[in-house]
A and B are shown apart, each in its own frame.
Chain A
Amino acid sequence: MAESELLLEVRNLKTHFFAEEGIVRAVDGVDFTVARGKTLGVLGESGCGKSVTGFSILRLVQPPGRIVAGEILYHGLHGADNRALDLARCSPTSSQMQSIRGGEIAMIFQEARTSLDPVYTVGSQLIEAIKYHQSLRQEQAKAWGVEMLRRVGLPDPEATFNKYPHQLSGGMCQRVMIAIALSCQPKLLIADEPTTALDVTTEAQVLRLIKDLQEELGMSMIFITHNLGVVAEMADEIVVMYLGKVVEQTDVKALFEDARHPYTQALLRSVPQIGKKSGERLQTVPGSVPHPQNIPAGCPFHPRCPSRMPGLCDRKEPALLPLSGNRLVRCFLYDEDALKGANVHVANT
């Protein structure tokens, strides 16, 4: 992938929460890249650190949380030397960060209604964001706001403009959120499970809308979800996360045809697929996610892994290995050196 096509590079990102009861390693080594105009899907079970990853990029993690390591390289700014900006090194309260938030990188959330301030009209919240990023006069901002509401497919945008969040349905609120997020034409949109709270029909409409707008504006997207079907629909590339770590990164087609990491394989088995024999039972991933305070030693997935290798997986942590076809996997099964060195037998799968 050529450098110029990259918009965002996340390298070895670690975000920890220093809670009273101990350190929560919510994000503990996340690497991925987002290409211009493309969508990266982030997939993982609840609590694996997807949202915290998104918040980290925008530097929205509040104390006791803190980015403890890693780089977040943003290539979207046309600086003099065209160098990337490391967001991990910016101050969260700096004006530079403020202009990036919403202006360069925007975010939409799971619960649209609670993500809007209940005491202001959606219009005033829309204008507020626009005015902070573009020097527009009140009427211009308002006209632009109404235009945005029209573009996200809200009926009667002028009337909606003066409505309060509680007067709108969940789907309409999410459209408003999208309008606010896209009103300043960001280059990257982080969508954190934007459709989880919606019913199936509305979900499909909103996904369609996001996709259309993305094409129209040519922006990149990080699409966070725990829904395999949705990620298949939306993403070009996918990273699979487990307990704060990326365990596999690959393009969407390869993921569904030829998943490598045992966790990804287990995930895929838990989803009904067309073409499978109807008699075959759906499987769940055995066990559940351990609490991030109790991360097992070695490979964090080994207690639930069907192909774990005792003596190796419970001792050492696998690194993210490049495999052929631009994919990355964090598993000893693909690590020739480790396999030879440890001289273990593979438990039958």
Chain B
Amino acid sequence: MIKYIVTRTIAMIPTFLLLTVFGFLLIELPPGDYVTSYIRAQAAQGNTSAADQEASMRAQYGLDQPIVVRYGLWLSRFVRGDFGDSFEFRRPATEIIGSRLGVTLTISICAFLISWGIGIPLGIYSATHQYSRTDNFLTTVTFVGLGIPDFLLGLLLLVTVWMLTGEVLTGMNSSAYASAPWSVGKVLDFLKHLWIPVTAVVITGTAWIMRVMRGNLLDQLGRPYVTALRARGLPERVVIYKHAVRNALHPLVMSLGQTLAWLISGFTIISLVLDLPTVQSIYLRAMLQQDVYLGGTILILIGVLILIGTLLADILLAWLDPRIRLY
């Protein structure tokens, strides 16, 4: 087992390098660089003197070096744990990401737990009551849930709340609590804002998980071993929960690998729309501003989480499914 993990980790290194090249290129590919967009932004505010600083700013950020050199420098620092500074905030990228991780994970973990917690039982119910009225209803809801982009749901909730209460619940805290230290009042205020993004994400997420679970379980229920178990006189409850559901969960375990990365990359657009202080919204901003190190760090962080997630999912699955052996 340990040998397997070590080999897999070593095998991940080329993939990781591929990922960094890819990430770096993506960030470098847009025409212009941070200085160009900085000067453009300054000019838009009527500040033309910024144009004079162009060359010195480039030198300051090392943007005057050839691309390969910049990649090499970036990677060598990357490996040492130095992910570079954000041009815009003039602070280490890691620090900016770290400061937003709390809110991001709160929303995503809540959404994850709730949507799996609701989606799996509903999927099981749907599959075991195929074509019943409830199943048809749930299936229809699923289709609608998958059809509505979550950011529109977020907007819709926001507008609804505004119409009902007159409050605009963007961000994660009301202005009164924005810079206040944590207190009971602030926590309550936080929760009041939290439910909007969580609900929006949960609806789409639940629809997806329900559909997957229903499909998997139906597939399992049609297999010969289920008939054989029934033929042995086992109660239906045992046949379904101990056997069929157990087997139907395996494909979901595989998707857990992606979930790790999803935690910091899902609901990107909701974050923008609802003005949430999350990693996603800063990623979006960095991409638009060509804030290379910040955007690149996040992109690569997502990639790394995918690699780790896949590895963890493989290990978990091997532990659950005796047919898979790790060597």
List residues of chain A with CB under 8 Å of any chain B CB.
Answer: 55, 58, 60, 93, 98-103, 106-107, 109, 111, 114-121, 128-129, 132-133, 164, 166, 177, 180-181
Contacts and interface: CB of A to CB of B under 8 A. Distances in A.
A106 B236 CA distance: 17
Contacts of B231: 58, 60, 101-102, 106-107, 109
Contact of B229 (A99, A103, A106, A117): A117
A119 B235 contact: no
B244 to A, nearest CB: 9
Given A109-B227, A118-B225, A119-B246, A100 B233 contact: yes
A32 B236 CA distance: 29
Contacts of A117: 225, 229, 243, 247
Contacts of A55: 227
A129 B247 contact: no
A118 B247 contact: yes
A98 to B, nearest CB: 5
A16 B231 CA distance: 20
A132 B230 CA distance: 12
Interface in B211-231: 223-225, 227-231
Find the residue from A101, A117, A180 having the highest chain B CB count within 10 A: A117
Given A111-B224, A115-B225, A117-B247, A106 B322 contact: no
For the complex of A and B, 5 pairs with smallest distance between CB atoms: A102-B233, A101-B233, A115-B228, A102-B232, A107-B231
Contacts, number: 74
Given A98-B235, A129-B233, A129-B234, A114 B321 contact: no
A191 to B, nearest CB: 12
Given A129-B234, A166-B323, A177 B247 contact: no
B51 to A, nearest CB: 67
B326 interface: no
Contact count band on B: 20 to 34
A327 B230 CA distance: 34
Contact of A132 (B224, B233, B236): B233
B191 interface: no
Contacts of B225: 114-118
A129 B230 CA distance: 10
A119 B250 CA distance: 10
B320 interface: yes
Interface in B53-84: none
A119 B321 contact: yes
A93 B233 contact: no
Given A118-B323, A119-B246, 19 more contacts: A60-B231, A93-B236, A98-B235, A101-B233, A106-B231, A106-B232, A114-B224, A116-B228, A117-B229, A117-B247, A118-B247, A119-B247, A121-B322, A128-B234, A132-B233, A164-B322, A164-B323, A166-B322, A166-B323
Nearest to A183: B232
Contacts of B246: 119
Contacts of A164: 322-323
Contacts of A102: 231-234
Nearest to A166: B323
Contacts of B236: 93
B261 to A, nearest CB: 27
Contacts of A98: 233-235
